[in-house]
Amino acid sequence: MSRVPVAVLVSGSGTNLAALLESTSAADSLAEIVLVVADRHKAYGLQRARDAGVATEVVLKRDHPTPEAYDQALAAVLQRHGVEWVCLAGFMKLVGAAMLAAFPQRILNIHPSLLPAFPGLGVQQAAIEHGVRAAGATVHLVDGGMDTGPIVVQGVVEVHPDDSPEELSARILTKVEHRIYPMALRWAVQGKLRLRGRVVHVDTDEPLLVVG
Ligand code: GRF
């Protein structure tokens, strides 16, 4: 079985990376994580990658004069490693035109809200301030915007009345994020995602909404 080479891009702890490494370590996984890229040396995700025997690269903003140059460097690194699919997992940079051209409809992102509600940062604080009863996470294809791309799969959790942003965030991570990202990547490499307009159709009987 020839496996599909995947890169995961991180800036921080990388618990989603860990979930992806775990799921793709199964003998029947069609995806193989061949590279982890970070935009900072301190990203703990790099250590997780090394522990798993996966190649790492660090692409620093300060080494590139413009966001466009950064984006081109990122695409070049991924192409050098033969990557076919890209997973953003807590990567704190918007990808730009060079990345989108190099990997058309082949970049996934996970965001800790039920998009299109609460894109961007400070998400759990905002959700609590709005008094929402349900929160969750979304895996989507990446387009040029911030958390705006076509939705692949979502996971929902209950918001408790006394939740702090940290408590809500942890519930979303452990109950749904770590489940839905492996599902989305598996469908992606199996060629099960079809984009019609801005709607992603998934050729599966599995639920496209996970309840945590
Ligand atoms: C997750 O909440 C993810 O949804 C968001 O950034 C966070 C990354 O967490 N994009 P981790 O580094 O995977 O633990």
24 Cβ neighbours under 8 A, 6+ residues apart: 6, 31, 32, 33, 182, 185
Q: How many angstroms does the Cα of residue 207 sit away from the middle of ligand 1?
A: 22
Q: How many domains does the chain have?
A: 2
Regarding whether 171 and 137 lie in a shared domain, the answer is yes
Residues 115 and 140 sit within 8 Å (Cβ to Cβ): yes
Question: Domain ends where: 104, 135, 154?
Answer: 104
For ligand 1, whether the C-beta of 177 sits within 6 Å is: yes
Q: What is the CATH number of the domain that holds 183?
A: 3.40.50.170
pLDDT number for residue 181 = 98
pLDDT number for residue 167 = 98
- Other CB atoms within 10 A of residue 162 CB: 7
Residues of the chain whose pLDDT is less than 70? none
Whole-structure pTM value: 0.98
**CA-CA distance, 142 to 109, in Å (whole number)?**
6
Question: Domain ends where: 104, 124, 153?
Answer: 104
181 token code pair: 């990202």
- Calculate the average pLDDT of the chain: 97
Regarding whether 130 and 53 lie in a shared domain, the answer is no
Q: How many angstroms does the Cα of residue 89 sit away from the middle of ligand 1?
A: 6
Regarding whether 186 and 124 lie in a shared domain, the answer is yes
Catalytic residues: 111
Question: Domain ends where: 87, 104, 121?
Answer: 104
pLDDT number for residue 1 = 73
User: Range of 124's domain?
Assistant: 111-212
pLDDT number for residue 45 = 98
- Cα Dmax for the chain: 49
| Among the listed residues 156, 117, 133, 138, the one whose alpha carbon sits nearest the alpha carbon of residue 16 | 138
